[in-house]
Amino acid sequence: MHRTRLSFGERLIANFKQEGVEAIFSQGDLSMKDIQLHAEKQGLKVVGPRHEASAIFMAMGYHALTGQVQVAIGAPGPGQANLLPAAIAAAQEHVPVIILGARRQHAVDTAVRRGRWLYASLLPAFKDICKFAAKLDQLSHLDEVVHEAFRQALTGTPGPVYIEYDAQLNEQEADFRTLVTPARYRVPGQPAPQVAIESAVAMLRAARMPLLLAGEGVQRSRAQSAFVELARQLKCPVLTTLGGAGAFPETEPQWLRYMSKAGGEAIAAADLMLAVGTCLPETLNYGRLQNFSINDETRQLILMEPDAAAVGVNRPVDLALIGQTDLVLAQLRDALNEGSPFEENPDLKIWRNSFETENRGLGDDLPNTNRLHPGHLMIEARNAVPNDAVIVVDGGLTMLYQYAFFEKRSSEFVYTANFGHLGSGLGLAIGAQLAAGREQPVCLITGDGALGFHIMDFETAVRHDLPIVVVLNDDQALGAEMAQHMQHIGHEIQVTFSPVNYAAMADAMGGFGIRVERREDIVPAIAEAFALKKPAIVQISTDQDASYTFPVPYVSELAGWKQADVLGRHQMTHNSPDILKKGG
């Protein structure tokens, strides 16, 4: 077999390219010089974040818009360590990322020494976090280690993998055989068995009140269009999880908000639930607690899931459709086309009208004071952000405000829904914008607490000319913690911030910043930011006291996630008392 002499970086990038990698996220360092050299030569995007954790968040954001695995790299010692928190986020979100950590040379790694410079033995930590972790000390093992990394990252439930390589490999070359294509070393995505599809069709046609549920797996498999087609075939209520937002536009007449009263009624009435791309997480009450507990004994569940090991963990399943989500959606859609059309759920219009009335009431009930409420911020922002924008949301109480008051109209929504990671938003938005291209609007909705974690990566957006618009809820506090402290302690303890001019920081880093104090100025400010086509922060001052004087809608649902399973409150519903309020 023909052999070609190649350097470490040249062979590594060749492996990455044939797997569809388009971007390498890493700071410049001598420990990765040959990787970056050949990434640039072979046409990959090389993006240097200001913090290694952001490298992984950027890779996650890029994956969200493409479904393709990307690469993040950390330098020896501290650089590797900085990757760890984001690796945990990727693992909890089931996002495949190839993480590389450079390590001091083998002689240093294996010696018995104290005080080694730029050194830490982190492989055990990454083994605990990632689906696969291995050392790469010699070029002859490069292909097999990389192949195993992609095999593990993409098999079953996706997740991050870690390769710790000897930095001295940057100085080495070796003779390599012709590359083996991915289809020869890992199994590509598979459809579901036909017999399972036939069973699903029979169950759906026999159901009196089917319900369709979308999770983040719909977007990550890039199957939003197929999901919308399936929903329109079934003509039933459609609910989306926190991470599944965007899988079905909230403007569609079939969509109901999961936490709304109408959503709860639709769940209670359903005799069959088809869950697509979700593990039925705690934020969905595992598909069996709270509103799901009503009539649950007679409700069947069809679960569309790529990993057989995930079936039945959080809730018993009546039928599993095991296969790659986009392929299985297409199978089911085609099979349902062969029969007669479904009739529309007779209660759907009633539930939708009820939801719309409830939703208007949420906005009408917001207090009108001389200080801007975060709910009003979201309502006005929705009027200004382009309908087709990619929406990225960071963690914290700001997430719940956007959930209640910012309607998702496009098919692109990015959020760490399982882990709720605070501070990931800017990195996710940068990755999403790089993948989407400059002409696709990207909007990051975040709070000041979350943005503060990695705000220097706004400079990364400026350096790469990425026109992300940051809509900043600036209440000078960690809102959820503020509410808890005021309700249970009576005063705050280290959950408020000094006033910070984030808009001036955006200007100082070469972007655009604007501060807003009045509700009527929100729409023109956001519109101006998008029109400029440059990185921007629209800093909107909101009422710091709002989190505890006027609790965010559905906050009792949040309490339910945290307590219902532990306390066995199977009969808690969305109408239950707000147990986060005083004395709760």
Q: What is the mean pLDDT of each run of 10 residues along the chain (584 residues)?
A: 87 97 93 94 96 97 97 94 96 97 80 78 93 95 97 96 94 93 94 97 97 95 96 97 93 95 96 96 91 92 96 96 97 94 94 96 91 95 97 91 94 92 96 97 96 96 98 88 84 88 98 97 98 98 87 77 64 39 29
* Residue 115 one-letter amino acid: G
pLDDT reported for residue 472: 97
Q: What is the pLDDT of residue 559?
A: 67
CB 134 within 8 A of CB 164: yes
Task: Please state which of the four CATH numbers 3.20.20.140, 3.10.400.10, 3.20.20.70, 3.40.50.970 is assigned to the domain occupying 366-549.
Answer: 3.40.50.970
- Please tell me the pTM assigned to this model: 0.94
Q: Give the start-end residues of each E strand in 227-341.
A: 238-240, 272-276, 300-305, 319-322
pLDDT at 578: 37
Location of each CATH 3.40.50.1220 domain in the chain: 194-351
- 42 three-class SS: coil
Strands (E), 250-389: 272-276, 300-305, 319-322
Give me the helix-helix angle, 325-337 and 194-206, nearest 10°: 60
User: Distance from CA of residue 208 to its chain's centroid?
Assistant: 34
Q: What's the CATH class of domain 194-351?
A: alpha beta
Instruction: Give CA–CA dist 510/438, Å, rounded.
Output: 17
| Residue positions counted in the chain | 584
The fold of 3-184 is Rossmann fold (3.40.50)
Query: What is the spatial distance between Cα 407 and Cα 385, in angstroms, rounded to a whole number?
Result: 11
| Residues forming CATH 3.40.50.970 domain(s) in the chain | 3-184, 366-549
- Could you tell me if 393 and 446 are in contact, meaning their C-beta atoms sit under 8 angstroms apart? yes
